[in-house]
Amino acid sequence: MNIHSGTIEVTDEPEALGTEPIPARYYYDPEWYELERKAVWMRSWLNIGHVCELPEAGSFVRREIEFANASLLIVRGKDGEIRALHNACTHRGTQLTSEPCGKKSTFSCPYHMWTFGTDGALLSAPDFERFYVEKDDCALRQVAVDVCGGLIFICFEPQQSLREYLGPMTDMLEQVAVGQATTYHEYVYEIDANWKLTYDNFQENYHLRFIHPRSAQSGIGGDNPFGYPSSFSLVGKHRTQTIWTNPDGDFTPSTLLAFTRAVPRLTQDGLMELPHARDYMALFPNFFMLCNPGNNFLHYVMPISAEKSRGVIRLYWKGEDETASVRYAREFGMATTRDIHSEDVNVIEAGQRGLSSGALEHIHFMEKEVLCRHLIKVVEETVEAYKEETGI
């Protein structure tokens, strides 16, 4: 299949992106990171939350975005609109709140009590008549925000709308059950590794049999000893793959119970036959989601510096834990996720130490690591286009 879409064609041919080795400096060089920061991070739409976190007017979450040196308040206003407000008082910059989330009817600055509405407007300021500025010019600064499939995205310097940015992935995201989620479990980690090295670990299955010999039982074995995906597709900046499941997988009774409780009526209704039920969806630059219908596993990786990142893993659910079995199933899902992830962390950091030593000029991706190669190709293209545009 070859359909033109954006800068790179939609393709399922592994060698469409070439076969050459990749410069190792992309994973530690601060100059390259600075180019990525400006070209990729400041201009990309990034998932930072879900509408279920903002159920009511005044609900807010705070997000620290290190690559932009920004603290953002994602707020549902009295008018129902979601906005991304800079957590920086327009008087002299003081951060309005250090609370990670909550509900407020106004945001008051602790320094001189300037008070802002949930839409960012300056509502009141003590002795304001003595200032040389109008209240209308003192609203909190905003960052672009939009929602697709229930997921909240922000962009510091948008070059296009969220839907244009997502392209063909828009429909896919809207079809996936994550839009109906009402709650989630979250696991946040910091890691001493470049964001691409961290993210790539979750784009390839080559390591499963060595790093997860016990926990990845359902994903390796039989005539697919490495658990490679059944198919993949490169879709402009984004990509998908279809997860392969071992039909003879060695499920323990507790795993089976967890799966059947977490995905109710799985067998009766054939939920796994729903669109995208076996798909892995990756949105450039840092997001992927497993689209299974009972819960949506989502993971994104934010850079903190060239050699440090933060990952956010979430399992989204619909409805509350109405029974002990569902509660068990959800806890089991999260515990399994943490188990598998803890097996990955050490090997990713070991990779970073080797790369940061400067010993290597290049690294290598094989045929089945094409999603990793695609990420690098899109980053390279985006940086090149930025350099051309700005004359850097």
List contacts with ligand FES (CB under 6 A): 89, 91-92, 94, 109, 111-112, 114
Q: How would you class 270 by CB atoms within 10 Å of its CB: exposed for 0-12, middle for 13-18, buried for 19 or more?
A: exposed
The CB-of-189 to Fe ion minimum distance in angstroms stands at 13
Residues 152, 48: contact at Cβ < 8 Å?
yes
CB of 94 to ligand FES, least distance (A): 4
Distances (CA, A) of 83 to 72, 75, 120, 142, 318: 10, 5, 8, 7, 24
72 CB-side CA count, 13 A: 26
User: How far apart are CB 61 and ligand FES at their closest, in Å?
Assistant: 21
Residues 288-347, interacting with Fe ion (CB under 5 A) = 344
Nearer to Fe ion, 340 or 360 (CB): 340
Minimum Å distance from CB 251 to Fe ion?
Answer: 19
- Determine how many CB atoms are found less than 10 A away from the CB of residue 29: 19
Q: Please write down the HEC assignment for all residues of 203-249.
A: CCCCCHHHHCCCCCHHHCECCECCCCCCEEEEECCEEEEECCCCCCC
In whole angstroms, what is the distance from residue 276 CA to residue 356 CA? Answer: 38
Q: Which is nearer to Fe ion, 128 or 206 (CB)?
A: 206
Please, what is the minimum distance in Å from the beta carbon of residue 212 to ligand FES? 50
In this complex, which beta carbon is closest to ligand FES, that of residue 89 or of residue 176?
89
**Burial of residue 296, with CB atoms counted within 10 A of its CB: 0-12 exposed, 13-18 middle, 19 or more buried:** buried
Residue that the structure tokens 């961290």 belong to: 198
- Using the minimum distance from each CB to Fe ion, give the nearer residue, 30 or 225: 225
> Which CB, 155 or 363, lies closer to Fe ion?
363
Q: Pick what 200 binds: ligand FES, Fe ion, none; C-beta below 5 to 8 Å, kind-dependent.
A: none
Residue 344 binds which of ligand FES, Fe ion, none (CB < 5-8 A, kind-dependent): Fe ion
Interactions with Fe ion, residue window 113-142 (CB under 5 A) = none
Partner touching 94 among Fe ion, ligand FES, none, CB below 5 to 8 Å by kind = ligand FES
Q: What is the DSSP string of 111-148?
A: TT--EEETTS-EEE-TTGGGSSS-GGGGSPPEEEEEEE
Closer CB to ligand FES, residue 126 or residue 391? 126
Q: Which does 265 bind (CB under 5 to 8 A by kind): ligand FES, Fe ion, none?
A: none
Give Cβ neighbours of residue 70 (< 8 Å, ≥ 6 apart): 64, 86, 87, 143, 156
What are the Cα distances from residue 240, in Å, to 161, 278, 289?
21, 10, 10
| Smallest distance from Fe ion to CB 216, Å | 8
Q: Which does 85 bind (CB under 5 to 8 A by kind): Fe ion, ligand FES, none?
A: none
User: Between 107 and 156, whose beta carbon lies closer to ligand FES?
Assistant: 107
Shortest spacing between CB 333 and ligand FES, in angstroms: 43
* Residue 114 partner contact from Fe ion, ligand FES, none using kind-dependent CB cut-offs of 5 to 8 Å: ligand FES
29/344 with CB nearer Fe ion: 344
Instruction: Return d(Cα 281, Cα 274) in angstroms, integer.
Output: 15
Strand 362-363 and strand 22-23: pairing?
antiparallel
Least distance between Fe ion and beta carbon 211 (Å): 5
Name which of Fe ion, ligand FES, none residue 327 binds, using a CB cut-off of 5 to 8 Å depending on partner kind: none
Q: What residue 224 binds from Fe ion, ligand FES, none (CB within 5 to 8 A, per partner kind)?
A: none
Report yes or no: 364 and 351 within 8 Å, Cβ to Cβ: no
Residue the block writes with tokens 């879709």: 235
Partnered with residue 104 across adjacent β-strands are none
Binding site for Fe ion (CB under 5 A): 344
